[in-house]
Structure 1
């Protein structure tokens, strides 16, 4: 079972009333409209929507990279209490720094000397701490990105298509590490993905977005424990979602 039931206090509240690109110009584009949701402690939530629906825009707002919108994010991005870790599609590692240095550089200066043995061990990176990113496969580099995001013990881990371009074995291994981090460190997860099967395998809750402008058109809670979600369950759930949300989930 997920750790979500242990503490239902929200770690993130999102209420984006409206986001428009080029407002006041000749061709304004409304990217997001009335998008509201929350993530509770120890929960894995997946945000699913068609290409161009506004998922990346929503992430930029959550990270504080785009403040030109109507609405509110709590806690304030970059403010006290935010404690957010981010894993991008690309590992974004410094090739001239060791694996351990890449992880420690993401920490506040006053915390860079902290003990990270447990973190490296839990992610299977202990033997690689002194190596450089070029010696690692893409899957292992993504593990380093995950370690970097977890190093400062965030309350919320945000994942942007973290398993894209990985083979099935590497993707399954990384999914296991993410769910393990939730159970081991009490971290909550918000994952953006277009891969519905992947979301069904990992999530406690699915949030389904409309085409642009993005708005929430459905919320699905997955009550079956992750350990019992076999291929048949995933396919049956995906088919049911495709029937309910034909514009969002492919049949």
Structure 2
């Protein structure tokens, strides 16, 4: 959970984002979307397909500067957030360790990564190539790559999609443990409401396009105490209150 009185690690104010496709009408993707991520907090961004979640992430990461509003700190400030995409995006001709180190600034590539690889269960795989790893292990490498630069904020875009239940649960546990151990923050985009309820401190519910904030929902029950019955009841309650965002 966030530290009392601490400055947010991210404050996003996206007043408007409009796409102007050639030979077509402009498309407004985001309107009046404002939120923050506090220190040590896991926030999940949830909304219908096509609502503008990916557009929002691109703006937060500095990949799309063509919008009205502001991101504080600015993308790239202090090394920027660590990013884990839906696909691992590993170079198949590079080893696990090389993939992680290549994403680091040249002056930091000699950093000792023994603790990071051990924490993520990757020590035996450091010299192997991505093709020898399962999808779950490749996702761990992508997580290691994002964490190697010691970001204050970790941004996850559907990081557990296509994994079986056991692999997804293991990777979720690693993310939560890393947040607790290092005190970093997480902003995660997911379509899996049950998954979000399991890990988040706060849910940000988005409307359909143009994306705007429908509600910020705190989840105050400690994560170890979130049993299946509580999670199911929480989902039903959210579906009743926000039917356009959460399917029953």
- 1:5 is matched with which residue? 3
Is 1:193 the counterpart of 2:190? The answer is yes
- 1:96 to 2:93 alignment: yes
1:42 aligned residue: 40
User: Which deviates further from its counterpart, 222-231 or 15-24?
Assistant: 15-24
Structure 1 outlier segments of 4+, above 4 Å: 23-26
Query: Where do 1:159-178 residues align within 5 Å?
Result: 159-178=156-175
The alignment of Structure 1 onto Structure 2 pairs a total of residues equal to 248
Q: Is the 8 A contact 1:209 1:217 kept in 2?
A: yes
Contact 1:76 1:82 in 2 (8 A): no
Deviation of 1:81 (Å): 2.3
In the TM superposition, residue 5 of structure 1 has moved relative to its aligned partner by 3.2
Scaled by the length of structure 1, what TM-score is found? 0.96
Residue 27 in structure 1 maps to residue 25 in structure 2 = yes
Q: Residue 3 of structure 2 aligns to a residue in which SS? A: helix
1:68 lines up with 2:69 in the alignment = no
Alpha-carbon deviation of 1:82? 5.0
Is the 1:209–1:215 Cα contact (8 Å) retained in structure 2? Answer: yes
List runs of 5+ in structure 1 lacking aligned partners: none
Rounded to whole Å, the distance in 2 between the matches of 1:206 and 1:113 is 38
Mean Cα deviation higher: 226-235 or 40-49: 226-235
Contact 2:204 2:213 in 1 (8 A): yes
Cα distance in 2, alignment partners of residues 183 and 90 from structure 1: 25
Deviates more, 1:4-13 or 1:210-219: 4-13
Instruction: Look up the SS of the partner of 1:110 in the other structure.
Output: helix
1:109-124 paired onto structure 2 within 5 Å: 109-124=106-121
CA contact (8 A) 1:31 1:213 kept: yes
In the alignment, which residue of structure 1 is the partner of 2:102? 105
User: Partner residue of 1:57?
Assistant: 55
The one of 76, 86, 108 equivalent to 2:83 is: 86
Report the CA distance between 1:49 and its aligned residue.
0.2
Distance 2:200 2:23 in 1: 39
- Alpha-carbon RMSD across the aligned residues, in angstroms, is 1.3
Task: Name the structure 2 match of 1:147.
Answer: 144
Q: Distance in 1 between matches of 2:148 and 2:92?
A: 19
**Aligned partners of 1:124 and 1:237: how far apart in 2?**
33
Q: Could you tell me whether the CA contact under 8 Å between 2:79 and 2:149 is conserved in 1?
A: no
1:84-117 deviations in Å (ceiling 9; x for gaps): 1000000000111110111011100000000001
Return the TM-score normalized by structure 2.
Answer: 0.97
Q: Distance in 2 between matches of 1:130 and 1:26?
A: 50
Counterpart Cα distance in 2 of 1:151 and 1:82: 11
